[in-house]
Amino acid sequence: MKIYISADIEGIAGVVDWKETEKAEADYKPYSAQMTREVKAACKGAINAGAKEIWVKDAHGPGRNIDIDELPKMVRLIRAWSEHPFSMMQELDASFDAALMIGYHSGAGTDGNPLAHTFSSEKIAYLKVNDQLADEFLINTYTAGLAGVPVVFVSGDETLCESVVNFNSSIKAVATKKGISNSVISIHPDEATARIKAAVQEALDEPNRKLCKVNLPSGFKIEINYINHAQAYRASFYPGVKQLNPNTVLFETDDYFEALRMFSFLL
């Protein structure tokens, strides 16, 4: 079994402030260490389930957060950014049996995480796909669908986990914390790793992987609301994009790769 792990930091146990997510800050170290520990727990669960190959995408900020020395030897770690439109799912293809997401977080326009955002917290007020608020889980799960890979496990804040289970109740979700306004109520970091390891092992069960197959919608109507109207004006020149109002643009396509190509230029 070959497993793909996409890892972010804003949904890692305890993380509550941007300073804890930025390499240059004194507060960063314990939280990047916990990000590594949660990825390691997912690897252990996957190995218990029979994984022989595990690829990890370090998908936060500069993509240089995870300490590979702490991970099992079989791991291939994708660090930094190639700028391929698959972005947080770089190198994913049909050779993988399942994808897992660690440290994911609530999207822009929701209140489930003090750090709720979708791709760019500085640029994007919200992103909608087919009239529903979209988070990075949804965007990246559709990418997995395009590659023909089921997403079977997600960990992150409680509100994100609710959106995951609403999308497909067969996906196993582990909540590491609950966001309340600018605060979080976190479980213990060791409890987070224990729950992740156990749930990943369960999620990779073959019948469950089948239930997690991603069905892509037949069309994608994508609305991007920018914090700054000048960004919407700029975006309006991308082929196929229409400006709906000063801050919002619309892009429609049947081909999800075209949506990802658009995101890589406009987000």
Whole-number Å distance between alpha carbons of 129 and 165: 18
Whole-number Å distance between alpha carbons of 103 and 115: 12
Q: Which of 37, 44, 60, 172 binds Zn ion (CB under 5 A)?
A: 60
Angle between helices 136-147 and 256-266 (to 10 degrees): 140
Whole-number Å distance between alpha carbons of 13 and 100: 17
Task: Using the CB atoms, write b or e for 132-149: b if 16+ within 10 Å.
Answer: ebbbbbbbbbbbbbbbeb
Whole-number Å distance between alpha carbons of 60 and 154: 16
* Shortest CB 123 distance to Zn ion, Å: 14
* Shortest CB 9 distance to Zn ion, Å: 5
Does the protein bind Zn ion through residue 38 (CB under 5 A)? no
Does the protein bind Zn ion through residue 8 (CB under 5 A)? yes
Site string for Zn ion, 140-179 (x = CB under 5 A): ----------------------------------------
Alpha helical stretches, state H, the chain: 29-48, 136-147, 158-167, 189-203, 206-211, 229-235, 256-266
Site size toward Zn ion (CB under 5 A) is 3
Q: Could you tell me if 110 and 180 are in contact, meaning their C-beta atoms sit under 8 angstroms apart?
A: no
Binding range to Zn ion, per CB under 5 A, among 54-62, 152-160, 188-196, 209-217: 54-62
Binding range to Zn ion, per CB under 5 A, among 31-39, 55-63, 204-212, 224-232: 55-63
Does the protein bind Zn ion through residue 117 (CB under 5 A)? no
Site string for Zn ion, 177-206 (x = CB under 5 A): ------------------------------
Q: Could you tell me if 126 and 74 are in contact, meaning their C-beta atoms sit under 8 angstroms apart?
A: no
* Shortest CB 8 distance to Zn ion, Å: 4
Q: Toward Zn ion, which CB reaches closer, 36 or 248? A: 36
Q: Name the site residues for Zn ion (rule: CB under 5 A).
A: 8, 10, 60
